[in-house]
C-alpha cells in the first residue's frame, strides 16, 4: 500500500496568483498522477509526473498553467498558475502501487 500526504488541504486564493500543492508518499514510486475534480464533475487526469523527466500532460492541460516538479521518487508538486475562478476545484495526487491506485486527501482550492 501507499500513504499519501497532500498539502495544503484547502486554500482560498486571489485570482491572478499561483498556488503550489505538495504531495508526499511514504514509499518510492515510479509514477505519480495529478487529477482535478471540478465542482459536480468527475476526476480528470491532469498529468503524469515521472522522476527525472518532464511531466506528461493530458489533452487540455499545459505546462505553463500547471507546472509540475518531481525531484525524487517520493515527492511531487503541482502549481496552479495565474488562477481564475474556473480553477476552483479539488486537486488530487495519486500513485499506483501494484495494481491499486492510492489517493491523497485532496486540496480544495477556491479562487476569488
Q: How far is the CB of 94 from another protein (least distance, A)?
A: 8
Q: Which position among 14, 53, 86, 99 is part of the footprint of another protein (CB under 8 A)? A: 99
- The C-alpha angle with vertex 93 and arms to 90 and 98, in degrees rounded to 5, equals 140
Contacts 24+ apart (CB under 8 A), 77-82: 77/20, 77/21, 77/22, 77/23, 78/20, 78/21, 78/23, 78/34, 78/46, 78/47, 79/18, 79/19, 79/20, 79/21, 80/18, 80/19, 80/21, 80/109, 81/18, 82/16, 82/17, 82/18
Task: For residue 28, state whether it binds another protein (rule: CB under 8 A).
Answer: no
| Choices 20-28, 60-68, 76-84, 100-108 (CB under 8 A): range interacting with another protein | 100-108
60 binds another protein (CB under 8 A): no
Using rule CB under 8 A, residue 109 touches another protein: no
Q: Does 46 contact another protein by CB under 8 A? A: no
Residue 16 C-beta: closest distance to another protein, Å:
30
Q: Which stretch binds another protein (CB under 8 A): 17-25, 40-48, 70-78, 79-87?
A: 40-48
Minimum CB distance to another protein, residue 54 (Å): 16
Residue 17 touching another protein (CB under 8 A) = no
Amino acid at each position: 500500500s501507499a500513504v499519501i500526504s497532500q498539502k495544503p488541504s484547502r486554500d482560498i486564493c486571489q485570482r491572478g496568483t499561483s498556488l503550489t500543492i505538495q504531495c508526499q508518499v511514504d514509499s518510492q514510486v515510479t509514477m505519480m498522477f495529478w487529477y482535478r475534480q471540478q465542482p459536480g464533475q468527475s476526476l480528470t487526469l491532469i498529468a503524469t509526473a515521472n522522476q527525472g523527466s518532464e511531466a506528461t500532460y493530458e489533452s487540455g492541460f499545459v505546462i505553463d498553467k500547471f507546472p509540475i516538479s518531481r525531484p525524487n521518487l517520493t515527492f511531487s508538486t503541482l502549481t496552479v498558475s495565474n488562477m481564475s475562478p474556473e480553477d476552483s476545484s479539488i486537486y488530487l495526487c495519486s500513485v499506483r502501487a501494484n495494481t491499486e491506485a492510492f489517493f491523497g486527501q485532496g486540496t480544495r482550492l477556491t479562487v476569488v
